[in-house]
Structure 1
Amino acid sequence: MAILTPYLSFRDNAREAMTFYQSVLGGKLDLVEFSSFPGMPHDPADATKIMHSWLATDDGMVLAGSDTPTGMDFQPPQNISISVSGEDEARMQAIWDGLSDRGTVTIPFEAAPWGGLFGMLVDRYGMSWMVTVDVAT
């Protein structure tokens, strides 16, 4: 079995962002700071920044992320969206509501021509999302 996991890069706010995603998606969040690996060279300014985070929800979603270390180029995300979908309309609506809080809606979350519900947004951390309520088959 293989697992495909979105891995998000941040500039100095991975802890805040991943904690936000946990508040929206639920699940267990593990945060590992650069200082957790004393043998690994890092800028002392990065000691409490997030080297790796892992969010796993009870319904199988996984999201990972980290801070971009000092000295490495950081490019804000572009040309990619994180897609979350399911048949549970209440769950998808709650995810939409959470992600869109202080974000920018690009396509409202409403009935889609192909059935179900669909919407797109850019969250408060600059990540693009697509949220879909699938039509039960």
Structure 2
Amino acid sequence: MSVTTTTHLNFRGAARDALDFYRSVFGGRVVAVTYKDAGDVRNENEADWVMWGEVAGDDGFHVMAYDVPSHLPWNQGENPFFVSVRGDDADEISALWHRLAEGSTVVRPLDAAQWAPLYGMLTDRFGVTWVLDVA
């Protein structure tokens, strides 16, 4: 089993521009899935916003980003990033989740998602928001 962590940046409508900018600086490939692509449009004005995106380079550079939809709270100075923990073993990710969950606030329970066998989000007792998923 291998686990990696990745900085996951949060925006409100600027994720695609940010990803393109970081690609221009660091190189690599941009992948972006919009809310429309994922069939999760709650606000038509946000259909083309990034639900999940990343820049990944052959040299190991990796950053993820998304646009926080308007129905969720967002303040650039309060929650500008998540720490993403991704692995390939559901049991290991579940064990990490349960340890991190002690004293935390669960934002989204660890469960199957449209894009991953397991996905969950929580804010730990130190105020750090973690996203755990199985690739």
The TM-score, its normalising length taken from structure 1, stands at: 0.53
1:100-132 per-residue CA deviation (whole Å, 9 max, x = no partner) reads xxxxxxxxxxxxxxxxxxxxxxxxxxxxxxxxx
- Over 2 Å off, 4+ runs: 77-81
Distance 1:12 1:41 in 2: 14
Higher relative contact order (CA 8 A, sep 6+): 2
Is 1:57 paired with 2:65? no
| Cα distance change, pair 2–77 in 1 and its aligned pair in 2 (3 A) | farther
Residue number in structure 2 paired with 1:42: 42
Alignment size in residue pairs: 80
Q: Which has more radius of gyration? A: 1
Residue number in structure 2 paired with 1:25: 26
| Cα distance change, pair 61–37 in 1 and its aligned pair in 2 (3 A) | same
- Give the percent of matched residue pairs that are identical in Structure 1 and Structure 2: 29
| Cα distance change, pair 79–72 in 1 and its aligned pair in 2 (3 A) | closer
Distance 2:15 2:9 in 1: 8
Deviation of 1:34 (Å) = 0.3
| Cα distance change, pair 8–77 in 1 and its aligned pair in 2 (3 A) | farther
* Aligned-pair Cα RMSD in Å: 2.1
Is 1:14 paired with 2:15? yes
Q: Structure 1: 5+ residue runs without aligned partners? A: 82-137
Deviation of 1:65 (Å) = 0.3
